Amino acid sequence: MMGDGREGSDAALPAAGPVARGVTRRFVLGSALLLAGAGHVDAATGAAAPPSPDRAAASGRLTWADIEDLVAFAEVVVDGDPLAPEARQALADHVRERAARHASQEALYRTAVDLLRRLAATRFAEATPERRLELVARHRLGVTIVKADESVTDEVRAVRTRVARDLVAAHYGSPAGWRVVGYTSAFPGGCGDLEQYTRDGA
């Protein structure tokens, strides 16, 4: 029984389902530069490291169900399209590691999970792709700046300005995200091909 997702689980993160397009890259690429973060990827192969049974417990009260909801949220705010397994695993690792190291960040993640489940009336990852997109758009959860004249709750403000921004930055700070913006090196900031910096871009 899934319950509220707080019970421990060692299940692997499932593949993404289809997500309707609706959030543009312009907001994403601008927001991604505000923070830096990277997921855990095997240095030898460049592939996402497989989860081990004890890793879910490493993030304290966050479970795989919580992480799946956060990754599903990230898929909407990053681009509206399904992310590749490597990118999803990098996000899951980022969330797990940040929550394990910073109690305040774990609390923010739990705030986001609780809000998303309340809005969706189910686990966010189990809502239909259209429903996820509609909820994020309606409540502007992917807009990481709250204007002075906006009236939002502290909970929504935290999800928009802290969690959404963190997840976007984590994606674009990972190898999968760097490839989206044109870098093909094995790790963010590395130079995989000197010619890409010297040849004519025309």
Residue 182's pLDDT is: 53
Q: Residue 43: is its pLDDT beyond 50?
A: no
Residue 35's pLDDT is: 35
- Structure-model confidence comparison of residues 117 and 24, the more confident one: 117
Beta bridge partners of 48: 41
Q: Tell me, what amino acid is at 31?
A: S
- Structure-model confidence comparison of residues 75 and 82, the more confident one: 75
pLDDT one-digit tens code per residue, 145-174: 999 999 999 999 999 999 999 999 999 887
The least confident of 17-26, 67-76, 104-113 is 17-26
pLDDT one-digit tens code per residue, 92-141: 999 999 999 999 999 999 999 999 999 999 999 999 999 999 999 999 99
Asked if 8 and 63 touch (Cβ cutoff 8 Å), the reply is yes
Give, for 111, the enclosing helix (H) or strand (E). helix 103-120
Residue 179's pLDDT is: 59
**Average per-residue pLDDT for the chain:** 73
pLDDT one-digit tens code per residue, 189-198: 555 554 554 5
User: Measuring CA to CA, how many Å separate 32 from each of 19, 62, 189, 199?
Assistant: 20, 24, 15, 27
Q: Which structure tokens are listed for 95? A: 């969330």
